[in-house]
Amino acid sequence: MKHSFFPKTAALLLLWLFPSLIFAESVTYTVIKDDDLGTVINGFGQKPENSYVYFENEFGDIIGNRYNQITKNKEAILELYGWEGCTINSITFNMCSNMASGGAQVTVSADSVILFKQRAQFNAPEWYGEWVGHQNYIYVNITKTMSQSHVIKENEIISIIIEGTESSVYINSYTIDYDPGSNRTESPLGYVYEKIPKNGTLTEGDNVIIYYAGVAASDLVGGTNPFLSIYKVHSTANVFEPELMYFTAHKKNEHWQFVNQYGDTLSATGEKKMAWDNGVSTWNVTFVFEGAQITNTNANYGTIRYKTSTGDRFTTYTSTSMKLPYLYKRVRQNTPIEVVSLTLPENLSIPINKDTTILRPTILPVTATDQRVTWKSADENIATVHDGIIKPVSLGTTDIIVFSADRSLSDTCRVTVINSENAIEYVKTITGVYTREGKIIVEQTAPTDIAIFNTLGQLFRIKENVQFAEFNVPKGIYIIKIGTTATQVVVK
């Protein structure tokens, strides 16, 4: 891969003369479940220019909410490519366990150089220090500082491997804090590509992909009949797959040349014989209803078409039986969706004998790019807070404050720690409480009041003086109050 870096000698001289010019950067990669039951990686922040990531979960079970599960003796690996000249300072893992147990070993290495390695149970001080459960959708931040300062060398691959060592752990995201060195940085957010329609035009410098039916042209496969292989495009409104061929269109006389992101020019040496920088590299381009006619200026070499009968691929054909691809043009890069609202319930009462209470903010819009938050207790002698998990310390009142990642927004919940005899008696189970998909069902031996609360303590549903009740609810976590007793359930 070819990278665009500042001249290294000039950069080193600047750093020597002005050491304050060394700036830290941060990029967050989130594991996302895709519609086709696969996983993809979305990023935000700033990454080294032209770098990319590869993610694979060895467990491979992506049914329901287990797509990011790492089971015992299985690994999830995140690989970083194109980080030459950077120094990773720390990695924050947003993770959880299976609530009752769970442990992992994490290894961070630059090829054979181990930057960090640790093995521990999730409730051990080396990790989070207590169990937090995937069943309740509670992910917490665990920050690990690299054990050695290592400037990443050319072609070194950074491997971040999480291996399950006891039961299961789950990975939601990785936040990598690093010094970019002399590298330029760029946003990892995807680009919007739009189809060039019939009678459309191609302009000098346009960035395009060759696309058809959900796939785009990928790397050129060698052999006697080379062709462009394919790679799935998850959305043309958010294209970020590094495996694709991104072509810049250049006008040469009355024809066009297509140069990929590595500086190679798309060419052909005959029918079904595409190449890089070899043969004829000029093309005629016309946009028709069926797609883009990208025809080599040597008419005997044919037109780029898409074939599926003997393996999906793009190559040059003189036959017209195969489908024409489309050219999709890059129109802009996506920008972060900002958080505009961050709210907590106004008040919350916690029994002094309750181990923990979970507080979750409401973040709007729900599609906001960076939904990370930080927490603060105004008086830790009354209650402490870590990742929204509140622990009562003594009777009294304190403010629990939540901040957005950039600290531009905040909200406060007034938390009162009360005597247990004044509170609802929390129990582990209540006979006659069931959950099914989208339903909470309560059956009691005598009429009583039944109330459903969300985890913020807000009333969701109530039925008074009933013996049987059925509630249709979205999936999530709920507190069921029956009389003066309550329990927590998860609806999937």
> Do 159 and 53 fall within a single domain?
yes
Structure confidence at residue 398 (pLDDT): 97
Q: What is the mean pLDDT of the chain?
A: 87
pTM value is 0.76
> Do 291 and 302 fall within a single domain?
yes
pLDDT tens string 1-30: 333 333 333 443 444 444 434 459 999 999
pLDDT tens string 350-394: 888 877 788 889 899 989 999 999 999 999 999 999 999 999 999
| Predicted confidence (pLDDT) at residue 446 exceeds the cutoff of 90 | no
pLDDT tens string 176-196: 999 999 999 999 999 999 999
Mean pLDDT of 28-42: 81
> Do 383 and 289 fall within a single domain?
no
| Predicted confidence (pLDDT) at residue 294 exceeds the cutoff of 60 | yes
> Do 86 and 143 fall within a single domain?
yes
- Picking from 333, 356, 373, the residue at the C-terminal end of a domain is 333
- Picking from 265, 298, 333, the residue at the C-terminal end of a domain is 333
> Do 165 and 206 fall within a single domain?
no
Residue 3 lies in a domain: no
Question: ∠26-240-229 over CA atoms, to 5°?
Answer: 140
Residue 209 lies in a domain: yes
> Do 209 and 323 fall within a single domain?
yes
- Picking from 186, 211, 240, the residue at the C-terminal end of a domain is 186
Mean pLDDT of 48-70: 83
- State the CATH number of the domain containing residue 321: 2.80.10.50
Mean pLDDT of 159-175: 95
> Do 19 and 154 fall within a single domain?
yes
Measured CA to CA, the distance from residue 227 to residue 297 in angstroms comes to: 18
Structure confidence at residue 87 (pLDDT): 97
Residue 156 lies in a domain: yes
Q: Could you tell me which residues come within 8 angstroms of residue 19 by beta carbon, excluding any fewer than 6 positions away?
A: none
Residue 216 lies in a domain: yes
CB atoms under 10 Å from CB of 452, counted, come to 19
> Do 270 and 215 fall within a single domain?
yes
pLDDT tens string 94-142: 999 987 789 999 999 999 999 999 999 999 999 999 888 776 678 999 9
Split into its structural domains, the chain has a count of 4
> Do 253 and 370 fall within a single domain?
no
Residue 60 lies in a domain: yes
Structure confidence at residue 176 (pLDDT): 98
Domain that holds residue 470: 425-491
> Do 234 and 316 fall within a single domain?
yes
Q: Could you tell me which residues come within 8 angstroms of residue 2 by beta carbon, excluding any fewer than 6 positions away?
A: 50, 262, 263
Residue 401 lies in a domain: yes
Structure confidence at residue 454 (pLDDT): 77
Higher pLDDT, 229 or 356: 229
pLDDT tens string 418-432: 886 555 544 456 778
> What proportion of the chain, given as a percentage, has pLDDT over 70?
90
- State the CATH number of the domain containing residue 357: 2.60.40.1080
pLDDT tens string 192-218: 999 999 999 999 999 999 999 999 999
- State the CATH number of the domain containing residue 155: 2.60.120
Q: Is the peptide bond before 365 cis (omega within 30 degrees of 0)?
A: yes
Residue 1 lies in a domain: no
Structure confidence at residue 32 (pLDDT): 86
> Do 91 and 211 fall within a single domain?
no
> Do 19 and 143 fall within a single domain?
yes
Structure confidence at residue 2 (pLDDT): 32
Residue 119 lies in a domain: yes
